[in-house]
Amino acid sequence: MKQATDERGKRLGMWLFLYTEIILFGGLFVLYAVYLSKFGEAFISAGKELDRLFGTGNTLILLVSSFAVAASITAVQRGEKRRAVWLVAGAVACGALFLVNKYFEWGHKFELGIYPGSENLLKSEPGRNVFFGLYYVITGLHGIHIVIGMTLLLVAMVLILMGRVNAERHVVLENAGLYWHLVDLIWIFIFPLFYLIL
């Protein structure tokens, strides 16, 4: 009985934490909407400077990773320890691939002189400057959340290997999975706001 109560408490705690994350990114999306209404044409023009191939690739990577995390929870519930470990490892690998893609994407923008405080942006119209400021803040914050999510998944994977996450006790993996799904969901909003803006 006590274990069931503890697990319910852990789930509730995670949902409350995720709510604060939704408020954080929701606030940034509202800020984006305010500036979009003010600098609509400049935002559309600046959005065309982003590489849709990178954005689409990263979207697919995160969707695959979410599937892997969900499948790992099912595998743990069925007592398939080895499969669960491989699925979590696959999700972590997808997160790493996402960050590598983001590194190359940001690197290319830096080579072109498109980064916060650069002469290129300071001399351009205010809307373009605001667009890329929001782009770096939101995608950078999202990248930090990817690293945190990968860390949580790695901890869950170690606990699976140690037998502390198993068919009877798997709330740690569930909570890590919830966090990972939220990070993926946030990207689903970021992708069209920056890469598909028309």
Q: Which pLDDT belongs to residue 4?
A: 56
d(CA 18, CA 170): 18
Residue 2: pLDDT band (50, 70, 90) is: low
Q: How many domains does the chain have?
A: 1
pLDDT digits (tens, 9 = 90+) for 16-48: 999 999 999 999 999 999 999 999 999 999 999
- CATH number for the domain harbouring residue 121: 1.20.120.80
pLDDT at 3 over 80: no
pLDDT at 52 over 60: yes
Residues in contact with 113: Cβ distance below 8 Å, sequence separation at least 6, in sequence order: 119, 120, 121
pLDDT at 6 over 80: no
SS3 for 123-181 is HCCHHHHHHHHHHHHHHHHHHHHHHHHHHHHHHHHHHHHHCCCCCCCCHHHHHHHHHHH
pLDDT digits (tens, 9 = 90+) for 111-166: 999 998 899 998 999 999 999 999 999 999 999 999 999 999 999 999 999 999 98
With 0.85 as the threshold, say if the pTM is over it: yes
Q: Which pLDDT belongs to residue 167?
A: 87
Domain that holds residue 169: 2-195
pLDDT > 70: percent of the chain: 97
**What does pLDDT average to over the chain?**
94
pLDDT digits (tens, 9 = 90+) for 66-104: 999 999 999 999 999 999 999 999 999 999 999 999 999
d(CA 197, CA 194): 6
C-beta contacts of 40-47 below 8 A and 24+ residues apart: 40/127, 41/127, 42/125, 42/126, 42/127, 42/128, 42/130, 42/131, 43/127, 43/130, 43/131, 43/197, 44/197, 44/198, 45/128, 46/127, 46/128, 46/131, 46/132, 47/131, 47/194, 47/195, 47/196, 47/197
- Please state whether 51 falls in left (phi above 0), alpha (psi between -120 and 50) or beta: beta
d(CA 147, CA 153): 10
Residue 170: pLDDT band (50, 70, 90) is: confident
